[in-house]
Chain A
Amino acid sequence: MPPTEQATVSGRSLLERLGGMREASMIWIALLVLVVVCALFEPSTLKGSAILSMLPFAAILAIAAVGQCLVIQQGGIDFSVVGSITLSAVVVCGHAAGDEGKLLGAILMALAAVVIAGLINGIAVTMLRITPIIATLATNALLIGAVQSYTNGVPQAATKGLSNFAIDKTLGIPHTVYIAAIFVAVAAVVLAKTVVGRRFIAIGANPDAARAAGLRVNRYLIGTYVIAALCYGAAGIVLAGYVKTPGTTVGNPYLLSTITAVVVGGTALGGGRGRVVGAAIAAVFLSQLESFISATGAPPSVSLLVQSAAIAVAVAFSSSEVASSLRSLFAGLQPRRTRTRLAR
């Protein structure tokens, strides 16, 4: 865990502020480097059409990653992503059954289903005191069971309206991107600017201290899992529209990819500071990386290897010991500054 720079309200120089943003800005730098590499070696991946086919997947991943990021910030981890995304995708298709009039009801049904899953997660973690990884693993099993019961293995198609909405663009930008932007912006603003957000951060940083300060920690934790579930539910609904006929394994890639996005986006496992914007940018980064690798004609195996390398690099930078040895290498290059450090 890297020491977090204490935010002193006044008297911070621009340089100091940049220093404080170092970890957050890593992902921006990584994205910039990737764009340069793409421009040099596979310029076709930066064409409008290529970007437009990459963005919806990045957007759906970003929506789900916001949920995962909130849970990880609270010191948890959510293995029920797969089940939640899949269940909401099949429910929104199955309940509407092609009837546009039932679409709104179907969306509400899908969201209600994942909210129940989020509640089970939250109650298991707080009241039953089950470790998050185990609790969410169990909930995921329940969700996968629900997917099988609901579909009997036969996938249904999304309504025309839903899939048109998911595929269409407004002002040249896919709708999925707007939805992702809303999720990310709301999460980022609520966390940074509201009392609820500040308390949420305090609980993630140190639940015992927060409890001693009189915050209702369990309520916030249950709320976190429910809101995360809503993110997965929304991602599942949009995904259903985009792929038109979601199968019973449509959510499978999202366990690995949401955790990767959160870690690459600069959030440390084990709680503390969460970076929802970083996770969203990481979602774009990972999607563009995927499109670059497939453009080079490399097999899918390479994509997995590069993805694992991306996590390894992110982990190396966020691990305090690795980072400090790297920093000491570059120590001569950086202006030395004394900072107030708030050890966690």
Chain B
Amino acid sequence: MSTIESMIGLVEDRWPAAGDVPDDPLGQVLLASHLLGSNRAVANFGGGNTSAKGRTADHVGRDVEAMWVKGSGSDLATMESTDFTSLRSDDVTIRTQSRLRRFLRGDLAPPAIVLAATIGLAAYTTTQSSFFLTGAAFTGILTLFAALAFASMAQQVVMIGGGIDLSVGPLMGFLVVISSFVIVPGKSQPLLILGWALLIAIALLVGFVNWFPTLAKVPPFLTTLVTYTALQGMSLLFRKTVGGEINVDVLNSLLKKIDWFPWVAVVAIVLGFVLEYTLRRTAWGVKLRAVGSDPEHAHAVGIRVARVQLSSYLVGGLLVFLASLVLMTQVGAGDPTAGITYTLTSITAVVLGGASIFGGRGAFIGALAGAALIQQINASVSFLGVNTAWQTYMLGILTLIAAGAYSRARALRAAD
């Protein structure tokens, strides 16, 4: 047989009969190396590398998954078993997660799931009720969504920084009450501007008051419980009963309600994406998440924890101000009890959106998605004509399912 013939023909099978093959993987790969290395049809002098995977006993006799690799410097044909480097598979295998698995454990899975649920519910409601997708109904739903979206993002920014803000709802209400004094029909332009400035200043001041006691390590739950109560009292102090007409025309020109479409909903969504980008891609966002996850380590790496937390409460205050603008168009007068329910609803929305109440984790688009699902449930229940009790049943059941699932996903992630 000529050399050419064997090069173009099939490689000769030199593998011995079953009885002559060693049992262990190392012996097998050694045999294969010798056979290959001595066959000039498949290997040059000394050339080639071989490796094998299999189970073996380690240095203390444990049965482990292992891998043998021929190192450079030995000849395939003449090498010994000691020329193989043996490796424990556990130590060298890179764990690969499937894309789906990685996605499900990330911060963006909850918003995606919640959004899918919202769209599904909306689609079902559309097939069942011809009124649902009409302009008038949609205006109302989108406006309510915008108010809750702003309130939820306010809750979200404080929560990512490791806090919680019970005062969101009463602050919305208090701003509505004050607006019934300063944003009223017949005021000149400069006075209106002063009025807006006053409202923004109040929102920022409440944010500051909520933040300040954190310096003395007072739990934010208690601080904001105080402002929650005090702001309700202040609202009643200024308006014992509903009174004072808010200049809704000014608001509508501000909120640009064109025809039936409330642009404020688009503003809320765009702002949510901008904040999300800020949270993921800017230094401030990274610092905020660091502070929320672990303030001590954040401090250790040089982040000014108190300053970052202050910024979260101030941004929260501004978002509550935006929420109160939408609420003003809804109530139209100084109602001392307006807005209070937004506290618990905003907490529910961010939890549905996947936020951790212990800080560090959460997404603004999660807050948006949570707000959308809540308003969709409320709308669907009334359009489908089922008992209104289902609004709260659905909310309760979904919160338990969502919070339980997210908690499980986080436990798995922590275990990795």
Contact = CB atoms under 8 A, between A and B. Distances in A.
B237 A301 contact: yes
A320 B217 contact: yes
Interface string A48-91: 00000000000000000000000000000101000000000000
Interface string B378-413: 000000000111111101110110011001100100
B227 A308 contact: yes
Contacts of B400: 120, 124, 128, 130, 135, 138-139
Interface residues of B, number: 44
B357 interface: yes
Contacts of B399: 134, 137-138, 141
- Majority-rule SS of A interface residues: helix
B265 to A, nearest CB: 25
Contact of B226 (A135, A149, A269, A312): A312
B393 A304 contact: no
B322 interface: no
A311 B404 contact: no
A316 B223 CA distance: 10
Interface string B74-95: 0000000000000000000000
B347 interface: yes
Interface string A293-319: 000000111111101110110011001
B230 A142 contact: no
Contacts, number: 137
Contacts of B72: none
B403 A135 contact: yes
Contacts of A312: 226
Interface in B323-381: 344, 347-348, 351, 357-358
A144 B229 contact: no
A6 interface: no
Given A299-B240, A301-B236, A144 B404 contact: no
Given A130-B403, A137-B344, A148 B392 contact: yes
Nearest to B407: A129
Interface in A120-136: 120, 124, 128-131, 133-135
Given A137-B347, A311-B229, A128 B396 contact: no
A263 interface: yes
Given A134-B351, A259-B225, A145 B392 contact: yes
Contact of B216 (A130, A300, A319): A319
B237 to A, nearest CB: 4
Interface in B158-173: none
Contacts of B219: 269-270
B218 A315 contact: yes
A134 B357 contact: yes
B221 interface: yes
Contact of A129 (B229, B233, B392, B408): B408
Interface string B148-181: 0000000000000000000000000000000000
Given A145-B393, A305-B237, A315 B403 contact: no
B390 A311 contact: no
Contact of A305 (B218, B222, B234): B234
A149 B232 CA distance: 30
Contact of B404 (A128, A304, A309): A128
A40 to B, nearest CB: 24
The secondary structure that dominates the B interface is helix
B373 to A, nearest CB: 13
A149 B230 contact: no
A104 interface: no
Nearest to A152: B387
B253 to A, nearest CB: 33
Contacts of B226: 308-309, 311-312, 315
A185 to B, nearest CB: 28
A339 B314 CA distance: 42
Given A141-B399, A263-B222, A308 B229 contact: yes
A133 B396 contact: no
B236 A142 contact: no
A266 to B, nearest CB: 13
Nearest to B410: A129
Interface string A313-334: 0011001111000000000000
Contacts of B397: 138, 142
Nearest to A323: B216
Nearest to B400: A138
A228 B277 CA distance: 43
A302 B237 contact: yes
Interface string B254-274: 000000000000000000000
A131 B388 CA distance: 27
Interface of B: 213, 216-219, 221-223, 225-230, 232-237, 240, 344, 347-348, 351, 357-358, 387-393, 395-397, 399-400, 403-404, 407-408, 411
Given A124-B400, A137-B399, A139-B400, 14 more contacts: A77-B221, A133-B357, A134-B403, A138-B400, A145-B390, A145-B396, A147-B389, A270-B219, A301-B236, A302-B233, A302-B237, A305-B233, A305-B237, A309-B230
- Across the A-B interface, the 8 shortest Cβ-Cβ residue pairs: A304-B233, A141-B396, A301-B236, A308-B229, A148-B389, A138-B399, A128-B404, A308-B230
